Amino acid sequence: MKKLTLLLFLICSQLFGQNMSKEEFQKDRFNLGISFLTKGENERAIKLFNHALHIITDNKLGQIAFKKCDSLKPIIRKKLNQDIIGNWKKIHKGSNWGIPDENGIIGEMITINENEILFFELYKNAKEWCLVKTEPIVFCKKAEEGSEIYDVTFTEITFKNKEVWQFYIEEKSGLLKTFLFGHESDDTLSQIICGGISEEYFKLE
């Protein structure tokens, strides 16, 4: 669903932008960002400001859009961190749910605090969860740099193996959803448009 929304956004943006000059289209995206900002919808606003920035980066409006993005980044990152803090158990789908896999794993859980994400596994006949890895919360700089990178949230997290993940709370269900956004290298970010890994977690009280 997330990728379908992205595809529709790209198609609509291209069709709409074909009837405008770049300056007009940039102003339209910027003004729409302002309208979301005034309603307190910072996550939507920052995407539109980022879009306006990358339409024309070196004019006055592009620089204002850059400053808007820069000021909103710490706000939306703090909100995400507050939203996802806690203990989350992974939802396993399919007919084999609850049956040990080939490694004997019967459950997976993550614990998120202000600075890191801890990954746990529960093995058959084990009495305690086993900590298998820890990832510091490091926001991906490369995700916001390229105009060819779509659907950037400014909250993408880079793992130690250079996988880049998006974390977000689904509004209706309250589930934590994670999505493999791409892979970071020394020079670039390779984004996954289709076929990326997605996972769901419910919060443990």
Predicted pLDDT of residue 15: 46
12 and 78 both lie in a single domain: yes
Given 107, 133, 159, the domain boundary residue is 133
Asked whether residue 106 falls in the same domain as residue 29, the answer is: no
Q: Are residues 128 and 152 in the same domain?
A: no
End-of-domain residue from the set 104, 133, 162: 133
Q: Taking the alpha carbons of 156, 160, 162, 165 in that order, is the dihedral positive or negative?
A: negative
3-state helix, strand and coil shares in percent for the chain, rounded to the nearest 5: 35, 30, 35
pLDDT for 196 equals 79
48 with 125, same domain: the answer is no
Give the rounded percent of residues in the chain with a pLDDT score beyond 90: 67
Contact 31, 61 (CB under 8 A): no
- Which residues, 6+ apart, have CB-to-CB distance to 8 below 8 Å? none
* Ramachandran quadrant class, 170 (left: phi over 0; alpha: psi -120 to 50; beta: rest): beta
What is the band of 145 on the pLDDT scale with cuts at 50, 70, 90? Answer: confident
| pLDDT greater than 80 at residue 95 | no
Does residue 26 sit in the same domain as residue 123?
no
Q: Which domain holds residue 200?
A: 2-84+138-204
State the total domains in the chain. Answer: 2
Tell me the pLDDT band of 152, cut-offs 50, 70 and 90: confident
42 plus 22 within the same structural domain? yes
The pLDDT > 70 percentage for the chain reads 83
Note whether 108 and 60 are same-domain residues.
no
- Single out the residue of 108, 96, 129, 124 nearest to residue 178, CA to CA: 108
> What's the chain's average pLDDT?
86
Specify the range with the lowest mean pLDDT, choosing from 5-9, 15-19, 25-29.
5-9
* pLDDT value of residue 97: 45
Asked if residue 104 has pLDDT above 70, the reply is yes
Digit-coded pLDDT (tens) for 40-93: 999 999 999 999 999 999 999 999 999 999 999 999 999 999 999 999 999 976
Per-residue pLDDT, averaged over 151-168, amounts to 94
Name the token pair of 200: 């769901």
Reading the block at residue 162, the tokens are 């250079």
Residue 91 sits in the same domain as residue 74: no
